[in-house]
């Protein structure tokens, strides 16, 4: 610890307790800052071009295009007849989006009563196919316009879709007619399950539209945050979505981002609003990300909801 202190004397990530205290000091006071919003939209547009690049489309990924996996070295997929036919023509979103809600899965949402607030947004983004059953509705809402799905969920929860696809298709119904956003070209083992998820939905005339995350977009967003002090190997899903929202929406509110084990009332908080299963090495990335998000909150660029909703 001593060595570490001498090598990095300039920047030290505040300890969790200090972050929590800082949030308490600031309270929920928030003032929108249009200059900050415009600046971040420009920064993100310059680095990552979310409008054009967030999904793999026929426009940005024509036949023969080499898609380099962002989560692995030297792996690529060359767009062929089969994959090209699965891509949407172009960015399908009606831009600009007005009020966006990005909903993380933090346990802080439990008993927050934020459901009504969230449902009032024009565009609601959620992470990793979260549960939206009755018991959570009051806290997390019911509507979804875009939901991410990691291929590892397809593997763990739905037996990789190698057997029955009914459980998968049925459990997707809570997301209505939203976009399902899958990083199909991030890790090699994730491609096949993502394609199977696509076919499971299209074969059953599901209302959902599959969008594959563009690995180039994920890579440039990763670099963007790395340059701002987020040193994790990979960004959390939530920070990708906040970045997307900052690039596409006129106003962004983030809910459920709280990677700490105590709340503002000093009571224990579970990791997720639906369980307390900690991810592998989760603590390395998320507090760093939270500090960045909190800076954006303080500067009026996005709004973080970390307490109860009125």
- β-strand 123-126 against 303-305: which pairing, if any? unpaired
Nearest-angstrom CA–CA distance, 280 and 150: 15
**Member of 252, 259, 263, 264 binding ligand CDP (CB under 6 A):** 259
Whether 249 and 309 have beta carbons less than 8 Å apart is answered as no
Sheet holding 97-103, edge to edge: 209-212, 179-182, 146-148, 123-126, 97-103, 249-255, 303-305
Tell me which residues in 123-182 interact with ligand CDP (CB under 6 A): 127-128
Nearest residue to ligand CDP, by Cβ distance, number only? 238
By beta-carbon proximity to ligand CDP, the closer residue of 16 and 59 is: 16
Tell me which residues in 59-118 interact with ligand CDP (CB under 6 A): 104-107
Q: How far is the CB of 173 from ligand CDP (least distance, A)?
A: 20
Q: Is 263 in the site for ligand CDP (CB under 6 A)?
A: no
Q: Among residues 161, 150, 126, 158, which one has the least CA distance to residue 71?
A: 150
By beta-carbon proximity to ligand CDP, the closer residue of 69 and 274 is: 274
**Member of 179, 181, 258, 274 binding ligand CDP (CB under 6 A):** 258
Stretch that binds ligand CDP, among 87-95, 134-142, 202-210, 232-240 (CB under 6 A): 232-240
Nearest-angstrom CA–CA distance, 224 and 43: 9
Q: How far is the CB of 264 from ligand CDP (least distance, A)?
A: 14
**Member of 286, 296, 302, 304 binding ligand CDP (CB under 6 A):** 286
Nearest-angstrom CA–CA distance, 285 and 295: 16
Whether 197 and 110 have beta carbons less than 8 Å apart is answered as no
Whether omega for the bond prior to residue 11 falls within 30 degrees of 0, making it cis, is: no
Whether 173 and 152 have beta carbons less than 8 Å apart is answered as no
Q: Is 239 in the site for ligand CDP (CB under 6 A)?
A: yes
Stretch that binds ligand CDP, among 23-31, 52-60, 204-212, 256-264 (CB under 6 A): 256-264
| Footprint of ligand CDP (CB under 6 A) | 104-107, 127-128, 236-239, 256-259, 271-272, 279, 286
């Amino acid at each position: 610890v001593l060595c570490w202190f001498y090598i990095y004397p300039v920047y030290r990530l505040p300890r969790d307790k200090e972050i929590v205290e800082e949030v308490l000091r600031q309270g929920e006071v928030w003032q929108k800052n249009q200059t900050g919003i415009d600046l971040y939209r420009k920064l993100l547009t310059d680095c990552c071009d979310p409008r054009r690049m967030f999904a793999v489309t026929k426009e940005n990924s024509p036949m023969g295009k080499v898609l380099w996996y962002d989560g692995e070295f030297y792996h690529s997929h060359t767009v062929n007849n089969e994959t090209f036919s699965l891509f949407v023509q172009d960015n399908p979103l009606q831009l600009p989006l007005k009020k966006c809600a990005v909903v993380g899965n933090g346990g802080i949402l439990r008993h927050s009563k934020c459901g009504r607030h969230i449902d009032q947004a024009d565009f609601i983004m959620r992470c990793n196919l979260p549960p939206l059953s009755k018991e959570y509705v009051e806290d997390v809402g019911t509507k979804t316009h875009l939901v991410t799905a990691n291929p590892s969920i397809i593997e763990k929860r739905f037996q990789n879709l190698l057997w029955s696809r009914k459980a998968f298709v049925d459990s997707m119904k809570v997301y209505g007619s939203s976009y399902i956003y899958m990083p199909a070209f991030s890790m090699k083992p994730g491609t096949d399950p993502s394609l199977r998820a696509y076919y499971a939905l299209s074969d059953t005339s599901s209302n959902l539209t599959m969008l594959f995350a563009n690995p180039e977009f994920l890579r440039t967003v990763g670099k963007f945050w790395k340059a701002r002090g987020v040193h994790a190997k990979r960004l959390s899903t939530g920070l990708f979505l906040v970045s997307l929202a900052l690039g596409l929406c006129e106003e962004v509110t983030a809910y459920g981002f709280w990677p700490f084990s105590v709340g503002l009332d000093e009571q224990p908080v579970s990791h997720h609003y639906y369980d307390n299963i900690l991810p592998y090495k989760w603590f390395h990335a998320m507090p760093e990300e939270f500090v960045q998000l909190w800076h954006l909150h303080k500067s009026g660029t996005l709004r973080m909801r970390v307490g109860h909703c009125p």
